[in-house]
Chains A and B, each alone.
Chain A
Amino acid sequence: GESVGLHLPTLSVQEGDNSIINCAYSNSASDYFIWYKQESGKGPQFIIDIRSNMDKRQGQRVTVLLNKTVKHLSLQIAATQPGDSAVYFCAEKGSGGSYIPTFGRGTSLIVHP
């Protein structure tokens, strides 16, 4: 079946370091990917998205890289801050015209001051 998964359930970094969160997907027909951040007690918050016709997209302190050859997605956070501590989800838009994203299980990012 189609799935979206994350390699690491927990990532601990020091404040100021760069963080990389990885995600694998299995549906080669997926054409849109999204990263969400979920802080404790809150709903997921959109961070950045990327379409399958792109390899890289940059936002403020975040970069998403897409490798369609190996079906891998990563989120890079520069100069990680304590406020970045949260669970990060990747999601893929369903194929075949479905507007329903499939979410991975999530990676918990812990930033130590």
Chain B
Amino acid sequence: EAGVTQSPTHLIKTRGQQVTLRCSPISGHTSVYWYQQALGLGLQFLLWYDEGEERNRGNFPPRFSGRQFPNYSSELNVNALELEDSALYLCASSLAGQAHYEQYFGPGTRLTVT
């Protein structure tokens, strides 16, 4: 069974630009989560999508947004990139509707903003 996949693997952008990251969950998983992992820091929760709707949002500015498609894949969009947005962006998926769950992570997209 294929795991969570993310694209692209690496990305270099200039400050002020916009970026779109993509995630495909494990087959059968309807929940997708996005995290930011800056160097030396823990995972910071960005967004949670389930059944096409945004269920929860972390403490990030509105220029971080996303969506989930009918096939449960997801995109994370970051507008007006800033240098501090440089980080590893991780996507995870899980079965929905479970209070105690296991999240399966993808390999991440390494974003560098110059």
* Interface residues, chain A, with chain B CB atoms under 8 Å away: 4, 32, 34, 36, 41-46, 49, 51, 89, 91, 93, 97-106
| Count of chain A to chain B residue pairs whose CB atoms are closer than 8 Å in the complex | 56
User: For chain B, what secondary structure do more than half of its interface residues adopt (helix, strand, loop), or is it mixed?
Assistant: loop
Q: A43-B106, A43-B108, A44-B90 are in contact. Are A99 and B101 (CB under 8 A)?
A: yes
* Interface residues, chain B, with chain A CB atoms under 8 Å away: 4, 31, 33, 35, 40-45, 48, 55-56, 58, 90, 92, 98-108
Chain B nearest Cβ from A98, distance in angstroms: 7
Q: Could you tell me the distance between the alpha carbons of A91 and B101 in the complex, rounded to whole angstroms? A: 12
Q: Could you tell me the distance between the alpha carbons of A4 and B42 in the complex, rounded to whole angstroms? A: 10
Which of A36, A51, A100, A103 counts the most chain B CB atoms within 10 A? A100
Q: Which residues of chain B are near A46, meaning CB under 8 Å? A: 102-104
Q: Which residues of chain A are near B106, meaning CB under 8 Å? A: 43
Chain B nearest Cβ from A52, distance in angstroms: 10
Q: Which residues of chain B are near A41, meaning CB under 8 Å? A: 107
